[in-house]
Amino acid sequence: MARIDTPEAGVIKQRATELATVRDKYRDRAREYAKVTLPYLLPEVEETDSVEFQNDYNTEGAKLVNAAANTYVQTLFPSGRSFIRFQMEEEDFKELEKQGESKAQVETLFATVERNFRQRFEVVGSRVAALEALKQLIVTGNVLVHKMPEKRTNTYAIDEFMVLRGLDGTLEEIITVDKKFIASLDEELRANVLSEMKVEEDDVETVVELYTWIRRGSEGDRDMWYVDQAVESIPVGEQQTFKTDALPWIPVMWQRTRREMYGRGLVEEHYGSFWTLSILTEAMAIGCVSLADIKYLVRPGSLVNVEELNSSASGSYHYGEADDINAISTDRQRDIILIKDVIEVYKRHLAEVFMYLPGTMRDAERVTAEENRLRARSLEKAHGGVYSTLADTFQRPYALLLLDEMGVGNLDTDGVKLVITTGQDALSRGNENDNINHWLSDLAGLGQVPEPVLRGIKIIDFAKKTAAGRDVDYSAIVMSEQEMQQAAQAQQQQQEQAVAGQELAKKADPEQLAAAMQQGRG
C-alpha cells in the first residue's frame, strides 16, 4: 500500500457512480423497511417539504423503533456518567511510583479526564447524533457518523454515502455526497461549475453535489487515510490526511454478513412480522369501516314512506308493520375479533424483539416489579452481541475523536487502556450483581435447615462452595480469617473500654461528675 495522489477531474464522481451500483440494492430494500417504521429516515423523493410521511395503517413500527433507539442510547451513552474508563497495568503504576507519582494521584487524574469527557460529549451534541444514528441502524442497518472538528456531529443515511470493504470487512474507501446550493460556492468555483453544468447564473436555487472521497493508503511505514473533495466533476481544496485511529468519518453497521459491504438492520430481520401486521391492520380498519356503514332494507309493497321517515322528528308516528324495515347484517364481528387477536400476537412478539417492556408485561394483578426487572434484563441480554459490536465500531472510535479534541495523547503509547464501560460490560456487571444476590439467598436458606443438621455443616466451606457455583469472587467480598480476627479483637477492645467507662462513672463522686460536665459545657 503506497501514498495516494490527488485525483483528476471527474474521477471522484465516476468512482461514486461505480460504488453506488452495490449500495443502491441495500438502499432500495431499506426504503421498504422505513415505510413500515419511520418513512422520513429514507424518503423516496428529495423534495420532502410537502410530503406526509405516513405510509402504513398503524404506527407500531414507529413506536418500537423510537423506543429501541432511546433504550440503546441510554444504555450505550448513559447520562450522568462517562461511558469510558482508563486503566493501567500494575507494572505501569509501579513505574510511575518510582517517578514520584502515586497510584491515587493517577486515578484522580483519570477521573478528572473522564468527567471532562462526559461534559464534552454533551456540549458537542453527541447524544442527538447518537439517537439519529441508532434509528438509522435499527431500520436500515447502516449509518455514517461524521465528527466535524470543534463542531457538532452529523449523520449520513445509506443513500448519502458509499463504502468499499475487503472480504474480511476491512474498510478501504468511503464516499459521501452532500447537497449544496450553487450560490454558497465561492465566485471562481461557482463559475466553473456553472460552465460544466450549463446552468444560468441567476438560478441561485440550483443544487450541486459535493463529493468527499476517503481512501486508505500509507505514508512510510504508517497506514493513513487520504481525503479529497470535488464539486460535481471539479476537484476542490487540498488533500487531507488522517491517522487510522483519528478518521472523523465512522461507518457503523448493525449486523454484517460475511462478504457484504453493508449491514443488515433489526427491522429487516423481522420485516415479515411488520408486513403481516400492516396487512392485518389494514384489513381490520377496512372491516370496521364496513361495519359502521349501516344500511336498511324496506319490504316491497310496504306502507312505509321512506322519505317521510328520514325527514321526520323523533317520536313521530307512521303507518307500517314492524317487519317492514330491517338492517343489513354482515356478521363480520367474529372476523374482526379474530384479526384483532392475531394482531396482538404480532405486537407482543415485536415488543420483545425491540425491548419495549410495556408491550411484554403480563396484564395481571400479581405482576411484581422484580418480574418486570428480570424481563427487561432478559430482553437486553438478547441484544448483547449488538452492544459488543457498537462498542467496538461506534463508541470507541468516537471516544478517541473526542479525546483527541480535548488534547489527550496517544493512550496506547502512554500505557493507558481505554475501556468502554456500557453496553455488554454493563450487562456483565448486572449479571454479577444477580449472582451475588442468588448466593446470599443460598446462605439465607440455611435458616430453614433443622438445627441438628445445621450443626454438622461447615458454614465457611458451604459459603465458599456455593459462591464458586454462582461464579462469585468469595475473597473479594468476605473477610479473610486474619481480618475477622482483627475485627473481633477491635470489637472486644471497644466493649472493654465501654465497660471500664461505666465502672469509672459508678465510682465517681456525683458532685465532681456534675462539675466536670458543667466544665465541659463551658
The full DSSP string for 295-345 is: -EEE-TT-S--HHHHHHSPTT----S-GGGEEE-----HHHHHHHHHHHHH
Q: Which three cell numbers stand for residue 100?
A: 514520584
Say which residue the cell 460544466 belongs to.
196
Q: What is the largest CA-CA distance in the chain?
A: 122
Q: How far does Cα 324 stand from its chain's mean position?
A: 64
Closest CA to 443 of 427, 413, 464: 464
Closest CA to 349 of 359, 339, 363: 359
Say which residue the cell 461511558 belongs to.
83
Compute φ and ψ for 294, nearest 5 degrees: -90, 130
- What is each CA distance from 437 to 433, 441, 442, 472, in whole angstroms? 6, 6, 9, 10
- Residues 456 and 127: beta-carbon distance below 8 Å: no
Closest CA to 474 of 463, 485, 459: 463
Which letter does DSSP use for residue 357 in this model? G
Compute φ and ψ for 147, nearest 5 degrees: -95, 100
- The confidence score (pLDDT) of residue 320 equals 84
Contacts of 154 (CB under 8 A, 6+ apart): 129, 145, 146, 148
Contacts of 341 (CB under 8 A, 6+ apart): none
For residue 476, count other CB atoms closer than 10 A to its CB.
Answer: 7
Compute φ and ψ for 253, nearest 5 degrees: -125, 150
Q: Which three cell numbers stand for residue 277?
A: 401486521
Amino acid code (one letter) for 47: E
- The confidence score (pLDDT) of residue 190 equals 76
Q: Which three cell numbers stand for residue 448?
A: 430453614
112-169 tens-digit pLDDT: 888 899 889 988 889 999 999 999 999 999 999 999 887 789 999 999 999 999 888 8
CA–CA gap between residue 321 and residue 399 (Å, rounded): 83
Query: Can you list the alpha helix ranges (DSSP code H) found in 218-313?
Result: 266-269, 271-292, 306-311
- The confidence score (pLDDT) of residue 277 equals 92
- The confidence score (pLDDT) of residue 357 equals 73
Closest CA to 175 of 224, 215, 208: 215
Q: What is the pLDDT along the chain (522 residues), one digit of tens a residue?
A: 567 778 888 899 999 999 999 999 999 999 999 999 999 999 887 665 656 666 677 889 999 999 999 988 888 888 877 888 888 877 777 777 777 777 777 788 888 888 899 889 988 889 999 999 999 999 999 999 999 887 789 999 999 999 999 888 889 999 999 988 887 777 777 777 777 766 666 566 778 889 999 999 887 778 899 999 998 888 888 899 998 888 999 999 998 887 889 999 999 999 999 999 999 998 888 888 777 777 888 888 888 888 888 888 888 888 888 888 887 776 677 888 888 899 999 999 998 888 887 755 555 545 555 555 555 566 566 776 788 888 889 999 999 999 988 888 666 556 788 888 765 555 455 556 667 777 888 888 887 888 887 778 888 888 888 888 777 777 667 777 777 788 778 888 888 777 776 776 666 666 665 665 566 555
